[in-house]
């Protein structure tokens, strides 16, 4: 316990006494008790006094921004009572560490930027984690580089001057250390390759060929049977469909010589290129909607939902029962149900159509659409229009698409109504398979959300504040561009120069469940509407 500070010839002397825990009080707590004859002195070069501070500012008090000893602010938003004034650090939340003050500054900067961007309810701030965005080092010498420790100097001869205790890496040393990193966080596992496989390869390369026991142990681990990927009752998936390639060693349609068109027109005016739509973000945070707006502004893609993302984004309105039509929409989609009256919005013009989610309602919905001259039918296989929870909580009903195609074919009205599929679409390959089955366009929901930083939390999608609007937009643009290229690649593999020239005959099923659901024949079978319900393997 410090009792006094005295000046001496060599600097300062800190007078202290020793203490020990006393007897417990009524609450069981022990108070310190001074030990008799324990006085001693500590020689010091410098003493830094830790004293309490109190903030005072008459101007802030006049604007009701000051509390008893600090600026009044909410930590959740870093705002004061004046929505244009933000506060952070010791002056607003009391004394703390420098690291905490830096954190306050980052929080305040985030909420100030949200305010300037016009976001009234920003997502809660979270410290951004950027380690996964570090480029992977590609140094061929990684395996022979030794560990390099930074040079340690210690406290030095004059610690009061706060000298550098440890050197940092120079650029060359940093690159050598980075090259040693396995980058496990960047690993993309698959059925054929995983982190364990790579570790086995390293281990086998370094094991003495004569060490048969270790080689046998590694082999036994590799021979362990994996879990059956097709258990009883497994839901059919688009992964169960494969393309029949028209090539042996190279693409029939060389990307360097011949283009593959991916554009399509819905109705008379809505041109999509690539043939993608977005949905599920009606109630998303404003940052997400702004990112979608930036993406759609730069592309020929539209949004489907109950309200527009912004005023400049192409939007197809999904209208529920008795919901008014918005003249800003370029088209209107009515939710189908038996007993639906005359279609509304005829006087507004634009694209008109239905959405259907039940297999037993497809034929009646098509009859209604043909009778009233509607142009579009959205097959909502996961109840996902406007809200991502449907796609996260429901198995996609891929049978809607072949049922719709067969219903139109029976009436000899194929291509009279444009078919769009929504629900469970993840990749460009998925899109190509659905287009081969008869869809003109597909709708992305969960995949688009994850490209913008969304995280599946139980049965809903959540977002963190560790990405800017521009970064989210770049992520979505990258997904759409990659999926468009992937879809066109599938068309090229089958010898097509246009994505929409893909046909069901270009596909085969590898499971009975997928064959029954999609009407795509099994591998080894000829095309046609075969019945696989009695086939056994």
pLDDT one-digit tens code per residue, 234-254:
899 999 999 988 876 666 777
Residues 475 and 292: beta-carbon distance below 8 Å:
no
CATH class (in words) of the domain with range 264-518: alpha beta
Spans in the chain with pLDDT lower than 50: 346-347, 534-537
Helix segments in 312-445, DSSP class H: 362-371, 389-393, 400-410, 428-436
Q: Which pLDDT belongs to residue 86? A: 95
Work out the number of other CB atoms within 10 angstroms of the CB of residue 285. Answer: 16
Residues of the chain with CATH 3.20.20.70: 264-518
Residues 304 and 277: beta-carbon distance below 8 Å:
yes
Q: What is the SS3 assignment for 78?
A: coil
Cα–Cα distances (Å) from 112 to 62, 104, 106, 167, in that order, read: 23, 12, 10, 36
Determine which helix (DSSP H) or strand (DSSP E) holds 521, and give its type and residue range: none
Q: Which pLDDT belongs to residue 528? A: 56
Count of residues in the chain = 537
- Residue with structure tokens 């030990």? 35
Residues 205 and 191: beta-carbon distance below 8 Å:
no
* Strand pairing class (507-509; 441-444): unpaired
Q: Which pLDDT belongs to residue 347? A: 46
Residues 166 and 152: beta-carbon distance below 8 Å:
yes
The gap between the terminal CA atoms of the chain, to the nearest Å, is 83
Residues 48 and 27: beta-carbon distance below 8 Å:
no
Q: Which pLDDT belongs to residue 159? A: 83
């Amino acid at each position: 316990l410090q009792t006094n500070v005295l000046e001496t010839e060599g600097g300062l002397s800190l007078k202290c006494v020793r203490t020990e825990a006393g007897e417990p009080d009524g609450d069981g707590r022990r108070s310190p008790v001074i030990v008799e004859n324990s006085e001693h002195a500590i020689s010091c070069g410098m003493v830094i006094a830790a004293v309490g501070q109190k903030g005072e500012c008459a101007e802030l008090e006049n604007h009701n921004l000051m509390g008893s000893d600090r600026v009044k602010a909410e930590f959740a938003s870093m705002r004061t009572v004046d929505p244009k004034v933000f506060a952070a650090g010791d002056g607003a939340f009391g004394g703390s560490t420098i690291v905490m003050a830096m954190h306050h500054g980052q929080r305040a900067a985030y909420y100030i930027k949200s305010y300037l961007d016009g976001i009234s309810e920003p997502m809660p701030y979270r410290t951004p984690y950027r380690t996964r965005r570090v480029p992977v080092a590609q140094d061929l010498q990684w395996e022979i580089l030794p560990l390099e420790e930074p040079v340690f100097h210690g406290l030095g001869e004059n610690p009061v001057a706060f000298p550098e205790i440890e050197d940092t890496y120079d650029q060359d040393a940093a690159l050598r250390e980075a090259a040693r990193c396995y980058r496990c966080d960047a690993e993309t596992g698959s059925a054929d390759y995983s982190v364990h496989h790579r570790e086995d390869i390293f281990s086998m390369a370094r094991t003495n060929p004569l060490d048969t026991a270790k080689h046998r142990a590694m082999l036994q681990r590799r021979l362990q049977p994996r879990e059956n990927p097709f258990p009883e009752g497994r839901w059919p998936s688009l992964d169960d469909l494969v393309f029949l390639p028209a090539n042996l060693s190279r693409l029939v349609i060389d990307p360097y010589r011949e283009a593959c068109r991916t554009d399509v027109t819905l109705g008379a005016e809505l041109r999509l290129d690539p043939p993608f739509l977005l949905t599920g973000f009606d109630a998303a945070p404003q940052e997400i909607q702004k990112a979608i707006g930036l993406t759609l502004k730069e592309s020929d893609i539209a949004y489907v939902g109950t309200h527009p993302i912004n005023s400049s984004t192409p939007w197809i309105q999904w209208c529920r029962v008795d919901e008014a039509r918005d003249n800003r929409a370029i088209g209107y989609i009515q939710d189908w149900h038996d007993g639906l009256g005359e279609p509304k919005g005829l006087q507004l013009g634009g694209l008109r159509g239905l959405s259907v989610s039940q297999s037993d309602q497809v034929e009646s919905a098509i009859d209604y659409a043909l009778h009233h001259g509607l142009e579009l039918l959205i097959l909502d296989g996961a109840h996902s229009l406007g809200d991502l929870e449907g796609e996260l909580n429901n198995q996609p009903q891929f049978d809607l698409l072949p049922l719709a195609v067969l219903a139109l074919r029976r009436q000899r009205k194929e291509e009279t109504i444009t078919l769009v599929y929504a629900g469970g679409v993840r990749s460009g390959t998925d899109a190509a398979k659905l287009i081969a089955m008869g869809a003109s366009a597909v709708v992305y929901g969960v995949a688009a959300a994850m490209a913008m930083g969304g995280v599946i939390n139980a049965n809903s999608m959540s977002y963190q504040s560790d990405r800017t609007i521009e970064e989210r937009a770049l992520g979505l643009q990258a997904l759409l561009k990659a999926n468009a290229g992937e879809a066109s690649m599938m068309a090229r593999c089958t010898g097509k120069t246009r994505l929409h020239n893909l046909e069901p005959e270009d596909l085969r099923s590898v499971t009975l469940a997928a064959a029954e659901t999609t009407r795509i024949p099994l591998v080894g079978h000829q095309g046609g509407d075969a019945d696989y319900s009695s086939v056994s393997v």
